[in-house]
Chain A
Amino acid sequence: MSSSRRSAIIVEHLRKQQMWDAISKSKRLDGRDFGELRPLEIELDIIKKANGSARVKLGDTEVIAGVKVETGEPFEGLENKGALIVSAEVLPVASPHVEPGPPDEETVELARVVDRGIRESEMIDLEKLVLVPGKVVYTVFVDCSVINADGNLFDATSYAVVSALLSSKLPVFEMQDGKVTDTGRTQETPITTIPVSLTAVRIGDVVLVDPTAEEEACMDARITITTNSKGEFCALQKGHTGSFTIDQIKKAAEASRVKGEEIRAKIVELTGYGK
């Protein structure tokens, strides 16, 4: 698997000034309100050999996710649960600021934050993915590739993973004479909830959701909050060096709940889940 190294984006002072002028008028450079997301597009089944796949476009950010299910040994301490492994990479074609090389801190963070949202919300009922307790379990791999990076990779990747999982069909494995065999049949993925993440950044005193790459280059602090279908908070990641006030965190959390609900409805609509 290729990986990535990202260099810092330097925003022109003129552009920063434009951004400040826009913010002072409660607008953003692309005309959005502070709490408005970019248009979300989801395309399913783009990888024929995967058990589920999705291409998600969030504005100009574009991510491909693929689900592959195999069998393997369970993780230590989680003998009665299937294994879920989410990985993410940013391809060098994604942006002029990405170079081939070992994954940098930000890319590792991306994979971890996305994984955490899916794992901690318990989106997949992993207990249903056990063949021989303690010995053989289903292993669900979700691999993501960012193919165009224009900010907010966290949410775009998260939506791609969720969409790919919602549309995936798991192969049915059976134990025959102590060996795992693929029956050729498929089953529904045991989905329990639909986690939706929402990233907000602070620039000066304002909090904006779904930042573009330019806004990320100017941000002081970043926070990603994931909610489940009931609107409960299940994962959180604070990034970058700056801080948030309690009020700003409350604002971001509220946005995550309210906007999360809208995005969840959109994901369900676009993936046709449950129909």
Chain B
Amino acid sequence: MDGEQLPMQEIRRKYVIPGDKIIEGNFRPLSNVIRSGNMLIATRIGIAEVGRDGAKVIPLSGVYIPRVNDLVIGKIIDHSSLSWEVDINSCFSAHLPAQDVFGRDFSPARDDMSKHLAIGDMITARILAFDRTRDPMLTLQEKDLGKIPRGELLKISATRVPRLIGKRGSMIQTIEQATQTRVLIGQNGIVVVTGRNSEGTKLAVRAIRMVEEEAHTANLTQKIRALLNVPETTQEQAPNTAPPKSQEVETAIEEVEEELEVEKGEKL
């Protein structure tokens, strides 16, 4: 994502708080922006961005708002006879239909739901449907989705997720390689770290906490490398020597590419 790849038209960015006017004129209100007369108004605190296709605000803080196709990590908090209720670290609690797990011939009388997923279990799931009039619906129908058997649990702000992943996954790859761990990141800010030894896991947790706390600062990858004692020479090799990324992380990376544009903007 170099400067040359930016759209021809200038992209204007500024920090806004809810209620701030972003711009006047015939622009399309995108995420976290509403139209009031001829003005576009921010509805969240963050960086306003006005581009060719309209105006949007990349939030800097706030709760996770589900989006269809997001990969999330959730906690089973209850179940009825037909679905599980999942806490996805949002103001909405999600539902996972029992049919999604047991198949179409699911029978509440025959199948024991709590045997499959009990209250307190953590799952990786994808958001199948969400339109704000109904609670988000989840699915596990994909490779790598389902119950998380082990790992250390962490909660970070959902707005820090793109920073934790880094450009094309650079940040998370650095952390994973240096600490010999595997880091699973949900778009909702829940992170699960699994490692071969507890020292590596502890170090990874420290690094993730540092990313969360200093997400707004420049040269964060260098700071993380210093924390993890990664020599600078591996910087260039890192993407090549990296083990193949899991599908979750890959997808997550794609999903945040848009936001990464903003990070670049901050540095500029």
Q: Which A residues fall within an 8 A CB radius of B?
A: 10-18
Contact = CB atoms under 8 A, between A and B. Distances in A.
A10 B153 contact: no
Interface of B: 75, 77, 87, 118-122, 148, 150-153, 192
Contacts of A10: 75, 77, 87, 119-120
A18 B122 CA distance: 14
Contacts of A13: 118, 120-122
B256 to A, nearest CB: 24
12 contacts: A10-B75, A10-B119, A12-B75, A12-B122, A13-B122, A14-B122, A14-B148, A14-B151, A14-B152, A14-B153, A15-B153, A16-B120
Contacts, number: 27
A166 B75 CA distance: 45
A15 B118 CA distance: 14
Of B148, B151, B153, chain A has the most CB atoms within 10 Å of the CB of B153
A12 B191 CA distance: 13
Contacts of B119: 10
Contacts of B152: 14, 18
The 9 closest A-B pairs by CB, nearest first: A13-B120, A14-B153, A10-B77, A12-B75, A15-B153, A12-B122, A14-B122, A12-B120, A10-B120
A14 B75 CA distance: 10
Of B75, B87, B192, chain A has the most CB atoms within 10 Å of the CB of B75
A14 B192 contact: yes
Contacts of A18: 152-153
B122 A17 contact: no
Contacts of B121: 12-13
Contacts of B148: 14
B85 to A, nearest CB: 10
Contacts of B118: 13
Nearest to A14: B153
Given A11-B120, A13-B121, 9 more contacts: A10-B119, A10-B120, A12-B75, A12-B121, A12-B153, A13-B122, A14-B151, A14-B153, A18-B152
A99 to B, nearest CB: 14
